[in-house]
Structure 1
Amino acid sequence: MSKLTIIANIHANVDKIEQVKAELLKLVPITRAEEGCINYDLHQDNEDPAHFTFFENWESRDLWQTHMGAPHLAAYMAATDGAVDQFILNEMSHIE
């Protein structure tokens, strides 16, 4: 099975930027230790501090799906309920 790239764009509510950032940062070390995680890199937009992007690579879609059901992701969702304005996730395949 081919590698899966995930681009996740998270837009925090302007008054909740630091809360969302703190919760996203908690995900990084836990996720990087997960089976199948090649990289899990968090970025914050230089022009729009409410915009965060995860750039992720996984060994397979199945292993990424396991990650999506992990308890630490559920904890993030609960901790940021009402603090995120928009969440856009793209599953990408490397073609070159």
Structure 2
Amino acid sequence: MGPFFVIAEVAAPLTNESQVEKALIGLAEQTHGETGCIEYRMCRELSEEVRWVIYEVWKTEQDWRSHLKVDHLLEFKDLLCAIGGTLTARKFVPLGCT
């Protein structure tokens, strides 16, 4: 099976904006080196100061599932929980020709 795509969304209270953004940058730096990570790109939503989208491309779904267990992602999720933030993820597979 071909590449596996994930769109994740992070939201956090405005008072924690810089803390979350710094943690997201660290998360991305560490994730780029993970097995199976093809692309891991973060974007900040212009209409919401405290919302970010992460576009992820993995070689396989199993690579992504392994990513869910790494320490740096678990630490980021703990931070979000402590400040009342959220992280959601939706999975996709490509359609047609790629």
Contact 2:80–2:86 (Cα < 8 Å) also in 1: no
1:23 — aligned with what? 23
TM-score (normalizing by structure 1): 0.90
Q: Which structure 2 residues correspond to residues 36-51 of structure 1 after superposition, within 5 A?
A: 36-51=36-51
2:13 — aligned with what? 13
Q: CA deviation at 1:85?
A: 3.4
Unaligned runs of 5+ in 1: none
Q: CA deviation at 1:81?
A: 2.5
Contact 2:12–2:80 (Cα < 8 Å) also in 1: no
Take 1:35 and 1:84, find their aligned partners in 2: how far apart are those partners?
A: 30
Contact 1:4–1:60 (Cα < 8 Å) also in 2: yes
TM-score (normalizing by structure 2): 0.89
Tell me the amino acid that sits aligned with residue 64 of structure 2. Answer: W
2:94 — aligned with what? 94
Q: CA deviation at 1:29?
A: 1.3
Take 1:70 and 1:57, find their aligned partners in 2: how far apart are those partners?
A: 17
Q: CA deviation at 1:7?
A: 0.1
Take 1:84 and 1:23, find their aligned partners in 2: how far apart are those partners?
A: 15
Q: Which structure 2 residues correspond to residues 59-78 of structure 1 after superposition, within 5 A?
A: 59-78=59-78
Q: CA deviation at 1:20?
A: 1.1
Indicate the percent of aligned positions where both proteins have the same amino acid: 21
Match of 2:81, SS state, is coil
Contact 1:31–1:40 (Cα < 8 Å) also in 2: yes
Aligned length: 96
